[in-house]
């Protein structure tokens, strides 16, 4: 059954013939006409004809009688339509769904629609931001997830997660949500495809940051366009201080993505001299880095403070980064194995179908 057919069913379910029309149904029925013939004569659905006749036999009237208790605002057909619609189009809004129902005569509020979908296990969630991936990248992610999913929690607690992000002075925080069920965050239809950020300029700044299970580490503003040499200087100034502050111990692991300045010949040589244990990392995989969640937290809290200039933007960023609760960091890292399991489930399906 198509969405259009479902909407027509909702319309007819809500159709209430006027009293005179219902009286015509009973008159025709008494003359020996069957449901099908009456429906054709009066252009009323056969199910509605049956409902009128059964009610007349039970109550002896075609008048609308007062009901008992609170009636459901949405029929089972309407609920079925809502579920089907959001499963196919997770980014549809409650207001758009309300208008769909209104067009076929079912008047409910957007809040009623949200409540109904929650009862059906469909919740409005912020979409996970994932990169546009080639089949090769998908297979690389899958291999990474499979080879690391059984790592002990102690290993993940000793990882220093790092990344860069662009913070905009008047950046729009896209609050459009997706309707999805629990544990379906990484299905492709429930994610928001992204591309790698560019350099900061004008009303924005670039930030390098790090964190671990024990909390946030150093946050550093990138001046101009970062190259390999500047990247090495940032690491030199911030990494070991963060490792010490977060008490990661001697067996800690350094995480970075595969940005060209991170993997350049000079940076690889520099890291080799440092002797840090480097976590292997698949290309185009910010969705595997839990620091992305903290960047999102940071951008929301900074936006609330409405910085007026770049100086305030940087000051608020440092302030809010330091305020991120340790529990938030710990939760992100402790759930990392679950994240890998979810990625394995999704990537297996996507790579086998591509």
Domain boundaries, the chain: 3-120, 128-353
Q: What are phi and psi of 336, to 5 degrees?
A: -65, -40
In whole numbers, what is the pLDDT of the chain averaged over residues? 82
CB of 116 closer than 8 Å to CB of 82 = yes
Residue predicted with more confidence, 172 or 52: 52
Q: Which has the minimum average pLDDT: 4-18, 28-42, 185-199, 206-220?
A: 185-199
Q: What are phi and psi of 205, to 5 degrees?
A: -135, 155
The per-residue pLDDT for 336 is 94
**Which H or E run contains 302?**
helix 291-304
Q: Is 53 left (phi over 0), alpha (psi -120 to 50) or beta?
A: alpha
The per-residue pLDDT for 72 is 58
Mean pLDDT to the nearest integer, 87-110: 82
Q: Is 124 helix (H, G, I), strand (E, B) or coil?
A: strand
Residue predicted with more confidence, 238 or 4: 238
The per-residue pLDDT for 196 is 46
Percent of the chain with pLDDT over 90: 43
Residue 21: CB atoms within 10 Å: 14
Q: Which pLDDT tens digit goes with each residue over 57-88?
A: 887 776 655 555 445 578 888 888 888 888 88
Closest CA to 190 of 86, 120, 115, 288: 86
Residue predicted with more confidence, 40 or 197: 40
**Which H or E run contains 341?**
helix 336-353
Rounded to a whole number, what is the distance in angstroms from the first to the last CA of the chain?
Answer: 28
Hey, what CATH class is 128-353 in? alpha beta
The per-residue pLDDT for 292 is 93
pLDDT above 60 (res 96): yes
The per-residue pLDDT for 190 is 57
Mean pLDDT to the nearest integer, 282-309: 90
Q: What pTM was estimated for this model as a whole? A: 0.59
The per-residue pLDDT for 328 is 96
Residue predicted with more confidence, 193 or 180: 180
Distance CA 328, CA 17 (A): 57
Distance CA 11, CA 176 (A): 29
pLDDT above 50 (res 197): no
pLDDT above 80 (res 180): no
Residue predicted with more confidence, 103 or 24: 24
């Amino acid at each position: 059954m198509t969405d259009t057919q479902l909407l027509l069913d909702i319309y007819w379910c809500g159709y209430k013939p006027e009293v005179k029309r219902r009286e015509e149904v009973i008159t025709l029925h008494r003359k020996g006409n069957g449901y099908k013939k009456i429906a054709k004569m009066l252009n009323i659905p056969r199910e509605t004809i049956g409902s009128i006749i059964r009610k007349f036999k039970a109550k002896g009237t075609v008048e609308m009688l007062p009901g008992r208790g609170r009636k459901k605002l949405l029929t089972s057909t309407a609920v079925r339509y809502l579920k089907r619609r959001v499963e196919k189009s997770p980014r549809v809004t409650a207001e758009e769904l309300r208008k769909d129902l209104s067009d076929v005569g079912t008047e409910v509020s957007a809040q009623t629609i949200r409540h109904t979908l929650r009862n059906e296990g469909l919740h409005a969630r912020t979409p996970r931001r994932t990169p546009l991936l080639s089949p090769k990248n998908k297979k690389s992610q899958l291999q990474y997830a499979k080879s690391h999913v059984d790592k002990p929690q102690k290993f993940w607690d000793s990882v220093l997660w790092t990344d860069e992000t662009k913070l905009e002075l008047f950046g729009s925080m896209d609050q459009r949500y997706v309707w999805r069920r629990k544990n379906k965050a990484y299905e492709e239809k429930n994610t928001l495809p992204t591309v790698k950020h560019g350099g900061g300029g004008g009303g924005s700044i670039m930030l390098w940051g790090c964190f671990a299970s024990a909390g946030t580490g150093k946050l550093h503003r990138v001046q101009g366009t970062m190259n390999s040499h500047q990247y090495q200087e940032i690491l030199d100034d911030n990494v070991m201080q963060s490792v010490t502050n977060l008490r990661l111990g001697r067996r800690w692991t350094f995480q970075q993505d595969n940005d060209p300045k991170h993997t350049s010949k000079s940076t690889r040589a520099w890291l080799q001299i440092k002797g840090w244990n480097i976590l292997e990392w698949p290309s185009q995989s910010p969705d595997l880095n839990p620091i992305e969640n903290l960047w999102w937290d940071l951008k929301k809290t900074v936006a609330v403070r409405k910085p007026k200039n770049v100086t305030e933007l940087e000051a608020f960023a440092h302030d809010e980064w330091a305020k991120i609760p340790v529990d938030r960091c710990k939760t992100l890292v402790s759930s990392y194995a679950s994240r890998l399991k979810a990625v394995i489930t999704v990537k297996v399906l996507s790579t086998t179908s591509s």
